[in-house]
Amino acid sequence: MGFKKLLASLGAGGATVETELIESNVVPGGVVQGEVRLEGGSVNQRIQGLSVGLQARVEVEGNEQETVQNIEFTRQSVGGAFEIEAGAVHVVPFGLEIPWETPVTTIDGQPLRGMNIGVTTDLDIARALDNSDLDPINVHPLPAQQAILDAFVRLGFRFKTADMEKGHIHGTRQRLPFYQEIEFFAPQQYRGLNQVELTFVADDREMDVILEMDKKPGLFTEGSDSFRSFQVGLGDFQGTDWTAYLNQWLAEVGGRRNWF
């Protein structure tokens, strides 16, 4: 093996990969279009495979501490084995489907703090180190999700933060190994309520909407949580006044527990 080939096998002077997204704004159930640009290094190299996927930065709780983990939640092969010549350029287009459960990262054009989702690109080179790349995407709400979010805003709730947590919500259609929580500060009219956490778990027909209410702790009482889940059709959500629906439920739950 020549010196240049040895360097290439160790990752030096080898092929490089760069991904360009045609449009980084997507919705769950949609497709992100892009192309992978490969540029040969100083020697010819055998490419074993090329793939793209989606990766999320997720919080993991355990042993009384919280860590962060990068979780890849979908992957698609976009090229089989081939040889790229030294200095040559090879462009591979792709269309990567966005799972319906993919968390929202942008609302009304504003990025949500705490959200980190991107397209990963992996180049498998024979006898060499993998080359990888990460390109962020902006995941906008589905119309049905936007209707629920708008209802919270009309009721006076203010966005606090969002996160993605590893785990599973029992009784939902969840298939991904993590879920999103969007947290809102409660308005003054719900005086006993501290905040509400909102989670969407969608498929191609409908979605589960999960709400967790966090009661304000009193002088002699600790805070407590209350859960509620309901289903919303992605095609017929317009038939419900979601502002009135959420307000009625909040009032009923709060009234039963003497929060308000």
The β-bridge partners of 215 are 193
Q: Is the pLDDT of residue 79 over 70?
A: yes
Q: How far apart are CA 187 and CA 3, in angstroms?
A: 68
With contact defined as beta carbons under 8 Å apart, do 186 and 173 qualify? no
> Of the ranges 11-25, 40-54, 189-203, which one carries the lowest mean pLDDT score?
11-25
H-state helical runs in 70-174: 143-154
What's the pLDDT band for 80 if we cut at 50, 70, 90?
confident
* Global pTM value: 0.86
In percent, the amount of the chain with pLDDT more than 70 equals 85
Going along the chain from its start, the domains and CATH numbers come out as 3-139 (2.60.40.640), 143-256 (no CATH)
CB 118 within 8 A of CB 98: no
pLDDT per position as a tens digit, 143-171: 999 999 999 999 999 999 999 999 999 99
Whether residue 211 contacts residue 201, with contact meaning beta carbons closer than 8 Å, is answered with: no
Q: Which residues, other chains included, contact 252 with Cβ-Cβ below 8 Å and sequence gap of 6+?
A: none
168 is written with which tokens? 């599973």
